[in-house]
Structures are given as C-alpha cells and as structure tokens.
Structure 1
Amino acid sequence: MTGNRQQSTAAHADPKSEIGILITKPRGYLVVKSAFLLGRVGALNAQLVELTGAAAGERAVDIGCGPGQLVRALALRVGPSGHVLGIDPSAEMIDYATARTAARPNCRFEVGTAQSLDLPDASVDVVTSTFVMHHIPEAKRAAALAQMFRVLRPGGRLLLADTHPTGLVLPAMVRLMSRFAARRTDDPHAAGHQADPLSAIDIRRYREALREAGFGTVDFTAIAPTTGVLVATKNG
C-alpha cells in the first residue's frame, strides 16, 4: 500500500499527463452523480452487475471505483467465495470507500491507475470501468485497455460504461456541464473542448480499440435514461 500511495503522490504532481482528472471529494461526487442519474444509482449498478455476467466465486476488478458503490454491488454478486478489488487514482476516494466497506471481507480497495495495473496476467474474471474513460488522458487510453485485456482470464468480460443521455433535456445538460468543466483544464481532449462533448464521452467510440486490444465480441447496451455500456469478451 505504501508504494501505491507514493504512486498517487507522484500522479498528483502532473495529473493531466499521467492520470487525467482526479476527483478528490467523495461526498460531492456522490451528490452530483445521484442528481445526474435521477436517484437511480443503485438500480443502474444492479443492471451493470447483471451485464457483466459475474458469478459466485469469481474475481472482479472495478477500475476508477470512486466511492465504491459498484464494488459493493459486485461483491454481493460474487459472494463470499469470490473477491472484488476497487482501484482508483484518488487516495481520498480509496479512503472513503475503504471506511464504508469494512464489513465486507470479500472486497478491498487500493490506489492505482488503469494504465498501470499491479495485477498478474489472466488473474480476474470481470473488469469494470464506469464513467472513467473520458477522465484518462487520450494518449493513455490504449494502454489502459491493453492492461484490462492483460489481467482478464480467457473468457473474461470487460464492461465499460459512460454517459449516454436520451431525450432533449439531458443531452443539453451534459453539453453545458462539459463546457463548464473544460474551463478547469487545458487538456484539449477533455470533453468540453470537443466540437460536441457528447461524442467525447460516447462509449461506442472504443469498439474498434477493444478489438485492436484483442477482445472478441463487443456488444453495446443503452440503459435509459443516461448510460451507454460496452461489454467485451476475451476469447477463450
């Protein structure tokens, strides 16, 4: 854990080029996320867990786990014989998630980044990363997908999810929020700097990158009203 803390400290020194946007206020993040998802965080996590196909006894990793909500949902799914690891570059998020998960012995949290996973090859059955890819610097995203592929066992599943708003009001809200957030970063690849912020967070843009990383099937699912999901399977 000491090494992970040192990694996080170094990442804070140049977050834009190394890990992208850090979210360091768990409570504020939870409020914003709940509002944007219209209070449906628990329902969404249940659907995401279902889409992973996670089964009792399996090992899962949630990358960019934030305050740990999806980790806890996955831990319930895999049961006491399984295990879930939550990874996030923000030490504040990891401390918050750890403090609220002490009663669940089948999950734990550690500081780390998607593009440098400290896990053995072919060691997990499920990898999830939700509302995270657009936070990773553009130049690091291929490396992140390669790491996700590396740690999955043959037949393992990767679930990526991001904002996919429907209707008229939600897309307008996303564009407004993205442009406001862009004022806080000079990263030209940040969503708010794009001609259309929605294209920057559309998870479907990673279909070809996933195939290039070595995944076989790549399926898209829209979960109304705000989420798009890709599930990719590593060939057995």
Structure 2
Amino acid sequence: MNILNPIPEGPRGTRQESGALQGSGLLQSEEEWKARNDELAGTLNELIRRHLVVSTGKALDVGCMHGELTDRYGEGLDLHWWGIDPDIPESSVTTKGARLSPGYGHELAFRAGSFDCVTFANVYEHVPPNLRSDTIAEIYRVLTPGGILVGQLPNPYFPIESHSRLLFLGVLPRPLQRWYWRLTPTGWDFEKAHFFSVTINDLKRRALASGFEVVTISNFNYSPRAVPKAVRRLAIIHARLGIMPWSWQFVLRKPSH
C-alpha cells in the first residue's frame, strides 16, 4: 500500500514540482515514484483488460498530464488514445501516439459515444465541487453504450493525507486545511495543489445519477516498495491489518441498452 501519494497532484492531476522527490522523510525517491507508477498503470490496465468491450477502438484519459501514464494504461490493448488536461500548454502526441490536448472534464470537445473507455486516475479530488456532476455527466456522454470509466480516488481520511503528507489534514474544514498546510514538507502552495476532501461515495452517487452502473469498487493500497523508507514498516503493518485503504479503484459502465 502507499502511505501517501508520491507527488501531490495539481488541479487535474499535474505534477507540480520535481523537488518533492527527495527520497527523505515522507517524500518519495525516484525509485519509489517509479514503483508507484508501475503499480498504478498495471492495476488500471488490468481493470480495463478485464471489463473492456471494444466498439469504437478509442479511449480517453481525463487529467492526462503529459501522457506518461496514458501510454501505459492501454498497453497490449487495441485502443487508440486521446488525453485532455487543462495544465498542458498545447496539443501534442506521445511516443506511443496518444493525442493530448488542453481541456476540462466538464466540457469535453468530443462527440457523444466516441470512446470505449475513459480513465480518471487521481483526478476527481481536484475537480471543484460545483463541477463534479457536470464532469461525470460529460464522461458519460462521450462513452459509447457499454463503455467503461476506470479510475482511482485517494482516501482523504487516510491518516497521512496524500497531497500534504500531514497527519489528518483531510478531516479538517478547508479554511483550517489552508492554515495547517504551512507545515507541509512538500514546499507546494496550497492553492496550486488545489484538491478537496471527497470520497468514493460522492463519486458513486453522482455517477449513478448520471446513468452509470457500478461494475466494481475496491480498496487499493500500493506495495511497500512505493512507500518512503521512513514509514515502510508502518505501511507493511497497515496493509496486514487492512483497516483503511489509501485509495479506491473503480470501474463504472454506461449501460448498453
């Protein structure tokens, strides 16, 4: 399991500053960050592989950053990928051919029924509350009947909050979070980190209201090799106890009828 998110995601999942990968204290090393990405990409790829029904042969990564993980979500699958993220400056193409463009999840510039799969990994907590329903509805719109939404959402109530590395920050009201943030070892600005305490129940409720069916929602923890060495023993104990997940992974489907 991962006792904390290696890099606090930006407004839509962007990596803010490489300085967080220091490999000391509660900050990941490059090796631990790579382990995290390997496990995230591998588990989402397996979920897609298990539940995908190919119709259009197209997939979309919402909150794609610069496409490092977009290329890996579809490894070994016969899908052509697109990605959108408001924090990338211009359109580009990844080494494996994914077409990336600036854009927001609540106003997707694609026709209805365009994609067999949409990925949404560690992004929902960065969507402002007033845009969550619109974002889920837009993803539903661009999925083909039978298409799937696959993703991950960090647990904000995990003892070490994943973006700040601070104890129990996620349980505090937002004004107090802003004050407490001054103690974060990451060096990031609170407003730039731009995340909200939101759980899988919120995502599930809005997804059902948009018309999605729940295929699977499961607890997910990274392995100890993705956890900073300073807290790795605690991670092993926590994983064995199975008390509280670091995050949830989910697959939602747009009905085919």
Q: Please, what TM-score do these two structures have when normalized by structure 1?
A: 0.69
Match of 2:235 in 1: none
Distance in 2, Cα, partners of 1:88 & 1:60: 15
Q: Which secondary structure state, in structure 2, belongs to the residue aligned with residue 50 of structure 1?
A: helix
Match of 1:69 in 2: 68
Q: Are the counterparts in 2 of residues 55 and 78 from structure 1 also a CA contact under 8 Å? A: no
Structure 2 unmatched ranges of 5 or more: 1-9, 171-176, 223-245
Q: Are the counterparts in 1 of residues 159 and 167 from structure 2 also a CA contact under 8 Å? A: no
Higher relative contact order (CA 8 A, sep 6+): 2
Q: Which secondary structure state, in structure 2, belongs to the residue aligned with residue 43 of structure 1?
A: helix
> 5 Å matches for 1:1-236?
21=11, 28=18, 31=21, 35=28, 39-52=35-48, 53-54=51-52, 58-79=57-78, 82-92=79-89, 98=92, 101-102=94-95, 104-105=96-97, 107-164=98-155, 173=165, 175=167, 179=177, 180=181, 184-185=190-191, 190-191=195-196, 200-225=197-222, 226-236=246-256
Q: Which secondary structure state, in structure 2, belongs to the residue aligned with residue 76 of structure 1?
A: coil
Q: State percent identity of aligned pairs.
A: 23
Q: Are the counterparts in 2 of residues 160 and 203 from structure 1 also a CA contact under 8 Å? A: no
Residue 73 of structure 1 aligns to which amino acid in structure 2? R
Structure 1 unmatched ranges of 5 or more: 1-19, 192-199
- Aligned in 2, Cα 1:228/1:84: closer, same or farther, shift over 3 Å? same
What is the deviation of 1:55? 6.7
Distance in 2, Cα, partners of 1:44 & 1:186: 23
Q: Are the counterparts in 2 of residues 60 and 83 from structure 1 also a CA contact under 8 Å? A: yes
What is the deviation of 1:201? 3.5
- Aligned in 2, Cα 1:77/1:90: closer, same or farther, shift over 3 Å? same
What is the deviation of 1:134? 1.5
What is the deviation of 1:218? 4.5
What is the deviation of 1:186? 11
Aligned residues: 199
Q: Are the counterparts in 2 of residues 74 and 84 from structure 1 also a CA contact under 8 Å? A: no
What is the deviation of 1:44? 1.7
The C-alpha deviation readout for 1:115-135, integer Å capped at 9, x for no partner, is 000001011000111111121
Q: Which secondary structure state, in structure 1, belongs to the residue aligned with residue 153 of structure 2?
A: strand
Residue 58 of structure 2 aligns to which amino acid in structure 1? R
